[in-house]
Amino acid sequence: MGRSPCCDKVGLKKGPWTPEEDQKLLAYIEEHGHGSWRALPGKAGLQRCGKSCRLRWTNYLRPDIKRGKFSLQEEQTIIQLHALLGNRWSAIATHLPKRTDNEIKNYWNTHLKKRLAKMGIDPVTHKPRCDALGSVDGQNKSAANLSHMAQWESARLEAEARLVRESKLRSQASFHSQSQAQQQLGTSSASLLSLLKQTTPPPPPSPPPPAPCLDVFKAWQWQSQGSVWSKSSIGGPLDLESPTSTLSFSENAVHSVVGFGHNSTAKIDSSEAGGGDWRGYGNGNPTLSTSSSDEKAEVAAFPTADDDDMVIFPTTQGPWSPSTTTAKPPPAASSSFVEGFTDLLLENSDDDDKNNNDNSEEEEEEDEGEDDANNYWNNILNLVDSSPPDSPLF
DNA sequence: AAAAGGGCCAACCGCGTCCAG
DNA sequence: TCTGGACGCGGTTGGCCCTTT
């Protein structure tokens, strides 16, 4: 493949932007919008290629860009999302609305990557490194469990995403095929979470789909009230009987735009869910839950490394409900998002993070190894739980 | 005080994807 | 269905600035 660079034309300026150029670009976009980037430079009187203009706008001139140091919360978000998404900076940036992907990427490469390495966590895989975990068997096992959970979840997501896509294709082919697809979805959920089903009553029969629109990714909803097994933000009784998945079909495909950290319901219209942009799911990282009905089971299930021993994570922050499954209690306190992870971060902060020392007073006891790893991944899971619904990934 | 080294960040490059014709 | 233009994304680079020697 390969296309010639858009700035091959002689006479086009490259390199740092001058204030005059910024002003021209700003003024033009404010008045006309950017429209076609290709055509913009000529209209705006800039000797730049459209790409350069776009970059300058999105990374610097855009009015909604927050500049300056990253807050601790932002750091946590980046790290946790990177654990789930990898180097998909644009996707990560959607969770930090006022930060650009470029900025996040730079910050990661220059600060966070090093800090994680210092913590003994591989910044690429986010797995604790063996040499840093200590030699205690329990610690190693715990780390193995945690990474196993993440890997299992990734695989699960990939499988479900694939099935959603397939179901969409089928639904487009014919109404009959659509029913088939749903059957497969149910089957998939059943197989993926069969262990879970062993300990919970079977879900009620799924009603026929009202429309061929898929509302995917209803799971991981933020529950501000802290109810572990709660229903979707729409309300209604809690369905503990359907821990399978929450892929639902709804009449109206809606984009629900809710701010990060608030009650959120991820909805993706059928075009996105089926034939649309699934790039974000390519590596199977983001979380997808499906259900056979409109019920949204607020649960994420992970096998441990033992695999015969399912761990059920409440996807909300709140008290663990022992009545839900035979599972173990949550492995670490997810209730303190900041404390656990922040301590980890601050503990390993470089000198350049001294501005965050407000929290350092809270650093007290630390259970090295297992607790750290638990906190690390639990916070990642919590973050997924609270991910913004308008993200292309969740 | 000057040179060297490293960190940081804005900008560029090339590839992948989307979409209209 | 195919093709090419346009855009978006992630990796990389160049150069400024700060710190260290």
Mean pLDDT of A9-13: 70
pLDDT at residue A304 greater than cutoff 50: no
Q: What pLDDT was estimated at residue A87?
A: 84
pLDDT value at position A362?
38
Contact between A219 and A245 under an 8 Å Cβ cutoff? The reply is: yes
Which single residue has its CA nearest the C1' atom of nucleotide B6?
A110
Q: A105 CA to B6 C1', in Å?
A: 19
Residue A121 is predicted with a pLDDT of 80
**In whole angstroms, how large is the CA radius of gyration of chain A?**
23
Nearest nucleotide over every DNA/RNA strand to the A109 CA, judged by C1': B8
- Residue A381 confidence (pLDDT): 64
The whole-number pLDDT of residue A210 equals 33
Calpha distance A218→A296 (Å, rounded): 7
For the cut 80, the answer to whether the pLDDT of residue A325 exceeds it is no
- pLDDT mean over A197-205: 34
Phi-psi bin for A311: left (phi > 0), alpha (psi -120 to 50), beta? beta
> Is the pLDDT reported for residue A51 higher than 80?
yes
> Which tops the pLDDT comparison, A164 or A261?
A164
Mean pLDDT of A79-96: 85
The answer to whether the beta carbons of residues A43 and A32 sit under 8 Å apart is: yes
**Distance from residue A324 (CA) to nucleotide C10 (C1'), in Å?**
42
For B18, which residue's CA is nearest its C1'?
A: A277
Q: How far is the CA of A353 from the C1' of C9 (A)?
A: 29
Chain B: bases < 7 Å from a protein Cβ: 7-18
Calculate the dihedral angle through the C-alpha atoms of A163, A167, A173, A174, rounding to the nearest 10 degrees.
150
Point out the nucleotide closest to A85 (alpha carbon to C1′). Answer: C10
Rounded, the Å distance between the CA of A35 and C1' of B15 is 23
What positions of strand C are covered by protein, i.e. any atom < 7 Å from a CB? Answer: 5-12, 15
Q: Which residue is nearest to nucleotide B9 (CA to C1')?
A: A106
C-alpha A345: how far from chain center: 20
Is pLDDT of A307 > 50? no
Q: What's the Å distance between residue A42 CA and nucleotide C5 C1'?
A: 17
Q: Which residues of A17-39 are buried (b: 16+ CB within 10 A; e: fewer)?
A: beeebeebbbebbeeeebeebee
Q: How far is the CA of A4 from the C1' of B14 (A)?
A: 9
pLDDT at A331 over 60: no
* Separation of A37 CA and C6 C1' (Å): 8
Q: Which of A148-162, A190-204, A334-348 has the lowest mean pLDDT?
A: A190-204
Rounded mean pLDDT of chain A? 52
Q: Is the pLDDT of residue A286 over 70?
A: no
Of residues A384 and A379, the one with the higher pLDDT is A379
Nearest CA to A314 among A233, A247, A238, A223?
Answer: A223
Residue A115 in this model has a pLDDT that exceeds 60: yes
Give which of A302, A298, A287 is closest to A240, Cα–Cα: A298
pLDDT digits (tens, 9 = 90+) for A91-110: 888 888 788 888 898 888 88
Residue A169 has pLDDT above 60, yes or no: no
Q: Across residues A25-50, what is the average pLDDT?
A: 85
Q: Which nucleotide is nearest to A88 (CA to C1')?
A: C10
> Alpha carbon of A164 to those of A112, A136, A261, A285: distances in Å?
35, 42, 27, 15
CB neighbour list of residue A259: distance below 8 Å, 6 or more residues apart: A388
Query: Which protein residue lies nearest to nucleotide B15, measured between its Cα and the C1' atom?
Result: A2
Tally of CB atoms within 10 A around A236: 12
pLDDT at A268 over 80: no
The CA–C1' separation of A198 and B7, in angstroms, is: 54
In whole angstroms, C6 C1' to A51 CA is 10
Mean pLDDT, residues A34-51: 85
pLDDT of A21 above 70:
yes
Question: Which two structure tokens, joined as six digits, stand for A167?
Answer: 């179901």
Closest C1' nucleotide to A8's CA: B13
Q: Which residue is nearest nucleotide C4, judged by alpha carbon to C1' distance?
A: A3
Confidence band for A124, pLDDT divided at 50, 70 and 90: confident
Residues whose CB is below 7 A of strand C: A 3, 15, 35-38, 50-51, 54, 87-91, 101-102, 105-106, 109
Among candidates A280, A360, A255, which has minimal Cα distance to A89?
Answer: A280
- The pLDDT score that the predictor gives to residue A116 is 81
Of A49 and A7, the one with more pLDDT: A49
